[in-house]
Amino acid sequence: MSKPREEPPPVLVIESVPVAGEQPIDPKKMREQGIPAPNHLVVYPELGAGAMGHVHPATDRNLLRHVALKRLDQDLVGEPMYRGGFIAEAQMTGQLEHPNIVPVHELGFSDAGVPYFTMKLVQGKNFDRWLRAHPVGTPDRLSGGLEILLKVCDAVAYAHHRGVIHRDLKPENIMVAEFGQVYVMDWGLARLTKTRPASGARSQMEAPGAVGTPGYLSPEQARGNPAEMDERSDVFGIGAMLYEIVSGRLPYGPDVRRHLALAEEGRVFPIASTGVELGVARGIGAIADRATAPNPADRYPSVLELQRDIRQFLHGGLHLPQATFEPGTLILNEGDVGDAAFIIVQGHCRVYRTVAGREETLGTLGPGDDETPSEAHARLRTKMIREERAELMRIRGEGHVDHAVLSAVLGQLDAEETALVWSATRSGAVRASPLRPPDRIAGACEHLAAAEVPKAPTTAEGCPRCLADGVRWVQLRACATCGEVGCCDSTPGRHAEAHFRETGHPVMRSIEPGEAWRWCYVDEIVG
């Protein structure tokens, strides 16, 4: 006598995630609308519809999780091209295992023969809504938009490696989840470049005609010959989104009705013609122009090369102009209001002030001297993450390691990089924040008001305690009460704070060149 099969023990749901406060669709209505009703799924009213499919939120009873159910429109079930294209989308997306491509869970058919597949239900908003919430010209739109686009490049580059081109890259097909995850969606118009469909039925991926969304499609897509389309067609789509991030416009101008005709003619407007003041974004504007070149030969040959230039712009500086000064040149007088910021990339700069008719050296600055230890770690770790990601992509392409393991590791790298970028952005915002106006100091902090005339620093040669310990300090502070010099909180010794703890002197001031702010340790106010 065989032992009866044991059922799994009951499992509690980690958290309740309501689906738009809706009730499940009535079974009768589901039958009338051709909505699949598998026993293990509870299906809710649709979230949206496309050219040939509908998407519903659903709950998987077995796995206790919410999913998205995508079904073919019942009017198209009898059309071999659309039915084949829908099934091909599910199968192809299911094989593209990447952290930035939404995973497919299952492919099935209703009793009436309507194909459907389920995938991860992404809680967030599409990139189009994200762009509308961030006005053109703001730092958040440029930096945040480029970070999103870098992850799109990761996904598309991986798909190209697997022999798949998307052909409909646009903000509406990019989902930005609640915690910064980015997913490339809707592979229904994708085309294979290395193999052909296993099915004998002709699907949309091989059908002639214009493919994609007019404002974002390349000229070769507008002309409609699948043989002309390759990875550079997706380069154009990403370039069009980059164009939009920078300028708020599309490569084919403001008249949506003319986009398809202009695309067929290859009439792409240079980003400078939009009339938008690009400022520091000129460098990224040039990248967008190259990515959206009408002739594929003039574009970036691959998404990875486009991504390299975007990342170099974002993390390697904003293509700022360089200036060379002769030795002994005075760049700025003490007390003058500067009209430019300087970053030393080569050589050294002596910082001094004049006291009683003689020059008093405050320090010597060289390349990277203004970089804190945390900033140095972030810079080096970001570089390491890029190298690690490239190596993982190479390993993944060889097919010798489990994709689930590699996907998990890639996801961890993405999360770490996102945290590093957030930290750098936050640090920059703090540095750029305005000081408390003098007329507000008295009411906010009596210690800052009392320290209006600070004591002169006891030394300008460095932090005495760091020198005694043989340690390199980052930046110098001086006590407003007694003038004792100590190092900042980014230095391991934190001797400025130590001085406050030992003496109770509340106010320290920066004695770094060009800085005049003070900090009250008691009230924790800068002014």
Q: How many whole angstroms separate alpha carbon 506 and alpha carbon 520?
A: 5
Question: Cα–Cα distance between 374 and 36 in angstroms, integer?
Answer: 53
- Residue-wise burial string across 347-368, b where 16 or more C-beta atoms lie within 10 A, e elsewhere: eeeebeeeeeeeeeebbebeee
Cα 496 off chain centre by: 37
The number of beta carbons lying within 10 Å of the beta carbon of residue 397 is: 11
Three-state secondary structure readout of 165-214: ECCCCCHHHEEEECCCCEEECCCCCCEECCCCCCCCCCCHHHCCCCCCCC
Residue the block writes with tokens 């370039």: 239
Q: What are phi and psi of 338, to 5 degrees?
A: -80, 150
What is the SS3 string spanning 17-49? CCCCCCCCCCHHHHHHHCCCCCCCEEECCCCEE
Strand bridging mode 65-72 / 115-120: antiparallel
Identify whether 168 is a catalytic site residue.
yes
List the one residue out of 145, 315, 312 whose CA is nearest residue 244: 145
CA dihedral 311, 316, 321, 324 (to 10 degrees): -150
Structure tokens at 425: 């952005």
- Structure token pair of residue 499: 């001085």
The candidate with the shortest Cα–Cα distance to 236, out of 254, 276, 263, 261, is 263
Nearest one of 87, 76, 30, 31 to 52, comparing CA atoms? 76
Secondary structure element (H or E) that encloses residue 85, with its range: helix 80-95
Pairwise CA distance, residues 489 & 508, whole Å: 12
Catalytic residue among 73, 168, 234, 414: 168
Exposure string for 231-248, b = 16+ CB within 10 A, e = fewer:
bbbbbbbbbbbbbbbbbb
How large is the C-alpha radius of gyration of the chain? 30
Q: Are 361 and 351 in contact (CB under 8 A)?
A: yes
Beta bridge partners of 477: 486, 510
Cα separation, 15 vs 508, whole angstroms: 48
Q: By the 8 A CB rule, do 508 and 519 touch?
A: yes
Q: Which residues are catalytic?
A: 168
